[in-house]
């Protein structure tokens, strides 16, 4: 495979289309999610081999609780199993795992597995892999504002101290760079409450390929499209 130049440092992915992929095969939606979880495992390895340093995926949104009960419980089972088996794979691949979102609504055993996984991988220096679970960007911003307001109330900071850096630091993604590239699979042109603050200047790439079919070649195409973009960050470049 040709080497991709100017690889994005941080790629965020809205993994959409598991349900449609399964339906097209006359299979239950849960089958699409199971295949989607396998894709996650493979893409982590491919991303790192390609030179991507940070990968963030949207696994379960704050809105996903309103799906039918059996689908929610199947997704939770999948995530529960993933958290347990991920420790071994992460140590093999030197992968540091972090979970963002409001974990307090998750079952106690899942919260415990997440804490174990984050602790076991915290010093790994390979791919920084972030999984968004019970994540909603508006909820994340609300929690950050509550946190900052509490500090103001206690007199630790003054309202005039609040700058963009302080807000970034109060978000679940604190310490990580903003995504350079946001990928959405299965064709929809929306952000779905994902990383609203962090993607202010991210390049967006949408593919019609459903998540279970997203592979190394698809990732390479997304990175190549990114490499051709000119990022202006709101400025006019000298050559323009």
84 is a site residue for ligand FPP (CB under 6 A): no
What are 95's two structure tokens? 């992968």
Stretch that binds ligand FPP, among 31-39, 89-97, 137-145, 162-170 (CB under 6 A): 31-39
The single residue among 7, 40, 95, 144 that binds ligand FPP, judged by CB under 6 A, is: 40
Spatial separation of the C-alpha atoms in residues 96 and 88, rounded to whole Å: 12
What are 144's two structure tokens? 């950050």
Instruction: Choose between 109 and 161: whose C-beta lies nearer to ligand FPP.
Output: 109
Cα distances (Å, whole numbers) of residue 140 to 50, 173, 175, 206, 209: 30, 10, 15, 24, 29
33 is a site residue for ligand FPP (CB under 6 A): yes
Cα distances (Å, whole numbers) of residue 195 to 171, 202, 228: 10, 10, 23
The single residue among 8, 12, 36, 202 that binds ligand FPP, judged by CB under 6 A, is: 36
16 is catalytic: yes
DSSP H or E run through 83: helix 69-93
Minimum Å gap between C-beta 233 and ligand FPP is 30
Stretch that binds ligand FPP, among 30-38, 43-51, 105-113, 117-125 (CB under 6 A): 30-38
Stretch that binds ligand FPP, among 77-85, 118-126, 140-148, 219-227 (CB under 6 A): 77-85
The single residue among 8, 10, 12, 17 that binds ligand FPP, judged by CB under 6 A, is: 17
What are 84's two structure tokens? 């347990």
Instruction: Pick the catalytic residue from 46, 64, 158, 213.
Output: 64
Cα distances (Å, whole numbers) of residue 39 to 18, 127, 231: 11, 16, 29
The single residue among 131, 148, 170, 222 that binds ligand FPP, judged by CB under 6 A, is: 131
Stretch that binds ligand FPP, among 34-42, 121-129, 153-161, 169-177 (CB under 6 A): 34-42
For residue 14, the cross-strand partners are: 58, 184
143 is a site residue for ligand FPP (CB under 6 A): no
Q: Is 220 left (phi over 0), alpha (psi -120 to 50) or beta?
A: alpha
Q: Which residue, among 117, 124, 81, has the nearest Cα to 99 in the 3D structure?
A: 117
Chain positions contacting ligand FPP, by CB under 6 A: 15-20, 29, 33, 36-37, 40, 57, 59, 64, 78-79, 82, 131, 186, 211
């Amino acid at each position: 495979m040709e080497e991709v130049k100017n690889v994005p440092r941080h790629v965020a992915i809205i993994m959409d289309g598991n349900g449609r992929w399964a339906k097209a095969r006359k299979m239950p939606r849960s089958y699409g999610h199971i295949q989607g979880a396998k894709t996650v495992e493979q893409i982590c390895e491919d991303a790192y081999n390609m030179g991507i340093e940070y990968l963030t995926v949207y696994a379960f949104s704050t809105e996903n609780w309103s799906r039918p009960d059996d689908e929610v419980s199947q997704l939770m089972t999948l995530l529960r199993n993933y958290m347990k088996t991920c420790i071994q794979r992460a140590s093999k691949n030197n992968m540091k795992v972090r979970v963002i979102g409001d974990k307090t609504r998750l079952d106690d055993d899942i919260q415990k597995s997440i804490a174990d996984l984050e602790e076991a991988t915290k010093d790994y220096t390979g791919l920084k892999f972030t999984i968004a679970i019970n994540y909603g960007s508006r909820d994340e911003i609300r929690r950050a504002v509550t946190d900052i307001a509490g500090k103001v109330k206690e007199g630790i900071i003054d309202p005039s101290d609040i700058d963009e850096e302080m807000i970034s630091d109060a978000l679940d993604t604190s310490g990580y760079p903003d995504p350079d590239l946001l990928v959405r699979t299965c064709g929809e042109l929306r952000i779905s409450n994902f990383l609203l603050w962090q993607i202010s200047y991210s390049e967006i790439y949408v593919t019609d390929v459903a998540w279970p079919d997203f592979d190394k070649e698809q990732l390479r195409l997304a990175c190549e499209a990114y490499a051709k973009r000119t990022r202006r960050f709101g400025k006019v470049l000298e050559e323009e």
